């Protein structure tokens, strides 16, 4: 579970084999907006100002600002000194100072998640249970046959939650693997059995490749679901709330 009472140390330490996961309540960060804005790069300012809706602009600023603060603690450097680039699929990484670790971020509405690991590649996804979500249409397009059958077997009252659990697991893996939109979501096959741990079953029919990945659901807040994926196995999850 997330430890809401955990006190953030002066220097965060990554340990081999651990996945550090931080839940961020952006609403609680609003009084830090100006300070976080000042730490962003000119490119991040430009990207923020391109959002049409002010709420989306503010969420971008708060999330990127918190990511800078958090990574700055791990690296023991000022947040504004970090320089980022993105992969071809839009996955950010630190180029200065050199950061021999992986991180990934996701946010939905006023909630965000940051995942960090010392080695390997990781991906995280957080989704809000949108009442307007067209589950039936997305199920046909994005779920594998095995996932559709598992979802069909759930009680009607659990189907929306079941779909979102499945979606976040698939998205987390695709982000971790750096596949983006290059692989159809329906070709990522996950276990969807109530009460059973998350598990990647096959990727484009390849079960051996799927066994090379760690997949887990994450604690989130009401009306949200979240998942994390990481290359390799035998990971230990450590989860906290960002309170600075």
Give residue limits of the domains in the chain.
18-125+234-241, 128-231
Question: What's the confidence (pLDDT) of residue 1?
Answer: 41
Domains 18-125+234-241 and 128-231 share a fold: yes
| Contact by Cβ (8 Å): 128, 224 | yes
Query: Alpha-carbon Rg of the chain, whole angstroms?
Result: 18
d(CA 196, CA 96): 41
Read off the pLDDT of residues 212-233 as tens digits, 9 standing for 90 and up: 999 999 987 888 999 999 999 8
| Contact by Cβ (8 Å): 50, 71 | no
Which homologous superfamily is 18-125+234-241 in?
A: 4'-phosphopantetheinyl transferase domain (3.90.470.20)
Q: Which pLDDT band holds residue 8 (cuts at 50, 70, 90)?
A: low
The residue behind tokens 């009607």 is 156
Closest C-alpha to 125, from 70, 51, 188, 208: 188
| pLDDT greater than 90 at residue 207 | yes
Q: Which CATH class is domain 128-231?
A: alpha beta
pTM as predicted: 0.91
Q: Count CA atoms within 13 Å of residue 202 on its CB side.
A: 11
d(CA 79, CA 82): 6
> Looking at residue 100, what DSSP letter applies?
-
> Looking at residue 19, what DSSP letter applies?
E
| pLDDT greater than 50 at residue 12 | yes
Across 18-37, average pLDDT:
93
SS3 state at 223: coil
Read off the pLDDT of residues 110-154 as tens digits, 9 standing for 90 and up: 999 999 998 889 999 999 998 888 888 889 889 999 999 999 999
């Amino acid at each position: 579970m997330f430890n809401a009472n955990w006190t953030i140390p002066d220097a965060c330490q990554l340990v081999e084999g651990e996945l550090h996961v931080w839940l961020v309540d952006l609403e609680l960060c609003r009084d830090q907006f100006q300070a976080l804005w000042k730490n962003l790069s000119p490119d991040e300012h430009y990207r923020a100002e391109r959002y049409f809706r002010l709420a989306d602009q503010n969420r971008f600023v708060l999330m990127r600002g918190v990511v800078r603060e958090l990574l700055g603690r791990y690296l023991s450097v000022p947040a504004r000194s970090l320089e980022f680039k993105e992969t071809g699929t839009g996955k950010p990484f630190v180029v200065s100072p050199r950061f021999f670790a992986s991180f990934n971020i996701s946010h939905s509405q006023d909630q965000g998640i940051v995942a960090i690991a010392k080695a390997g590649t990781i991906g995280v996804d957080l989704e809000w249970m949108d009442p307007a979500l067209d589950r039936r249409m997305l199920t046909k397009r994005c779920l594998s046959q095995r996932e559709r059958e598992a979802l069909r077997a759930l009680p009607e009252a659990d189907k929306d939650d079941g779909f979102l659990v499945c979606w976040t697991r698939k998205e987390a893996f695709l982000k971790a693997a750096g596949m983006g939109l290059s692989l159809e979501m329906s070709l990522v096959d996950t276990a969807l059995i109530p009460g059973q741990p998350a598990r990647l079953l096959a990727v484009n029919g390849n079960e051996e490749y799927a066994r090379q990945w760690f997949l887990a659901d994450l604690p989130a807040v009401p009306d949200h679901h979240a998942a994390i994926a990481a290359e390799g196995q035998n990971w230990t999850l450590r989860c906290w709330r960002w309170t600075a």
